[in-house]
């Protein structure tokens, strides 16, 4: 008898330690990245690192502004493309679609969510980049290589659509049916109900989902690395190439040990991404939990 209780107590303690230790991963990651990037933070101020766009590792000048700007452009564009498509698809799936359509769409979304980013990158270089260079680009600018902000945004948008749609479907289905019934009994059409009741009620959830999608797009590496062109300059238009932060890290990991401060600079880039995404994720998860609770009552 005592032996069984002892086993129970030991297991409990062991699992407790494991759980608490696993929580420390976040702290450890933050500390590790900060520790590695501290040389460059001490040499230049954080403000200078984030707002200067002078990038010449050989001269020891590390300004991240054009990379940050590239990341922001590509991410914003991807959300701008993916949001309307995902909202409409999710509304269709929850309000209108017949069950065979759902049975077809959900596996497709599953697969899209599972396709590795290198395959998205390959698709981007074969389909999207030539399309922009030969078909779309000539209408707007004199010359574009195709490896552009637009290409990055498009590929990223396809990558975040599965995430957005599945979150939206989940959120929309928490809107109580009574609300929708009340709306239709007042003579609203389906779309009016969707727009005035479902979307309005689901607004906090939608915002949280978008924030999650933003952080996914922001951190996506290989696909953007393959289609963005990776030129160190501020992108001026959709048809300019750009160089987002994750691409910078992935592209230079090989030679980063050969230059002083270079490793520290790349770790600083990783730290910036870590902090931004940690913050975004925490906020949106907390909102999502609130949303779920408020509807369950």
Partner 1 sequence: MKLKFIEEKIFNGLMILATLTVFAFFGSIIWTVAKTGFPSLTWDMITKLPGGGFYLGKEGGILNAIAGSLIIVFCSTLLGLIISIPIVFYINIYLKKGSKLAYFTRLTFDVLFGIPSIVYGAFGFTIMILLGLKTSLLGGIIVITLLIIPIFIRSMDEVAKSISKDLLDAAYSLGATQLETIRVVLRQIAPGITTATLLSIGRAIGDAAGVMFTAGFTDNIPVSLDQPAATLPLAVFFQLSSPIPEVRNRAYAAALLLTIIVLILSIAGRLIMNRFSKNRIQ
- Residue 192 in contact with partner 1, rule: CB under 8 A: yes
SS3 assignment for 223-288: HHHHHCECCCCCCCCCCCCECCHHHHHHHHCCCCCCCCCHHHHHHHHHHHHHHHHHHHHHHHHHHH
Residue with tokens 């303690």: 13
- Residue 105 in contact with partner 1, rule: CB under 8 A: yes
Q: Cβ(197)–Cβ(175) under 8 Å?
A: yes
Tokens of 261: 């401060």
- Residue 168 in contact with partner 1, rule: CB under 8 A: no
Of 160, 266, 287, 291, which one interacts with partner 1 (CB under 8 A)?
266
How near is the Cβ of 24 to partner 1 at its closest, in Å? Answer: 10
Interacting residues with partner 1 between 28 and 57 (CB under 8 A): 28-29, 32-33, 35-36
How near is the Cβ of 142 to partner 1 at its closest, in Å? Answer: 26
- Residue 265 in contact with partner 1, rule: CB under 8 A: no
How near is the Cβ of 48 to partner 1 at its closest, in Å? Answer: 22
List the one residue out of 132, 148, 156 whose CA is nearest residue 75: 156
Coil, helix or strand at residue 149: helix
- Residue 242 in contact with partner 1, rule: CB under 8 A: no
Of 36 and 233, nearer to partner 1 (C-beta) is 36
Of 91 and 149, nearer to partner 1 (C-beta) is 91
Partners of 229 in the β-ladder: 242
- Residue 209 in contact with partner 1, rule: CB under 8 A: no
How near is the Cβ of 103 to partner 1 at its closest, in Å? Answer: 10
Of 38, 65, 123, 233, which one interacts with partner 1 (CB under 8 A)?
123
How near is the Cβ of 84 to partner 1 at its closest, in Å? Answer: 7
Burial environment of residue 129 by CB neighbours within 10 A (0 to 12, 13 to 18, 19 or more): buried
Burial environment of residue 259 by CB neighbours within 10 A (0 to 12, 13 to 18, 19 or more): middle
- DSSP percent split of the chain into helix, strand, coil, nearest 5: 80, 0, 20
How near is the Cβ of 40 to partner 1 at its closest, in Å? Answer: 14
List the one residue out of 74, 211, 81 whose CA is nearest residue 158: 81
Interacting residues with partner 1 between 267 and 286 (CB under 8 A): 267, 270, 273-274, 277-278, 280-282, 285-286
Number of residues that this document lists for the chain: 297
Interacting residues with partner 1 between 219 and 238 (CB under 8 A): 219-222, 226
Of 54 and 103, nearer to partner 1 (C-beta) is 103
């Amino acid at each position: 008898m005592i032996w069984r209780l002892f086993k129970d107590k030991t297991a409990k303690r062991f699992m407790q330690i494991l759980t608490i230790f696993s929580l420390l991963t976040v702290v450890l990651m933050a500390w590790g990245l900060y520790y590695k990037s501290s040389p460059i933070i001490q040499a230049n101020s954080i403000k200078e690192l984030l707002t200067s766009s002078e990038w010449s590792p050989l001269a020891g000048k590390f300004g991240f502004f054009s990379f940050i700007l590239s990341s922001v452009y590509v991410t914003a564009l991807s959300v701008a493309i993916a949001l309307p498509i995902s909202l409409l698809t999710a509304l269709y799936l929850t309000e209108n679609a017949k069950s065979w359509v759902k049975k077809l769409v959900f596996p497709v979304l599953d697969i899209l969510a599972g396709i590795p980013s290198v395959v998205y990158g390959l698709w981007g270089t074969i389909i999207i980049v030539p399309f922009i260079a030969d078909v779309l680009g000539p209408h707007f600018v004199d010359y574009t290589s195709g490896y552009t902000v637009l290409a990055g945004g498009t590929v990223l948008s396809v990558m975040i659509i599965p995430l957005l749609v599945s979150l939206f479907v989940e959120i929309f289905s928490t809107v109580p049916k009574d609300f929708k019934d009340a709306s239709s009994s007042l003579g609203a059409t389906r779309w009016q109900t969707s727009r005035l009741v479902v979307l309005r009620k689901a607004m906090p959830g939608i915002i949280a989902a978008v924030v999650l999608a933003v952080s996914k797009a922001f951190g996506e590496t290989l696909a953007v690395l393959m289609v963005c062109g990776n030129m160190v300059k501020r992108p001026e238009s959709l048809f300019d190439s750009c160089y987002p932060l994750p691409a910078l890290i992935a592209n230079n990991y090989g030679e980063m040990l050969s230059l002083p401060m270079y490793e520290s600079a790349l770790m600083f880039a990783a730290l910036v991404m870590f902090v931004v995404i940690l913050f975004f994720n925490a906020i949106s998860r907390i909102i999502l939990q609130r949303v779920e609770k408020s509807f369950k009552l």
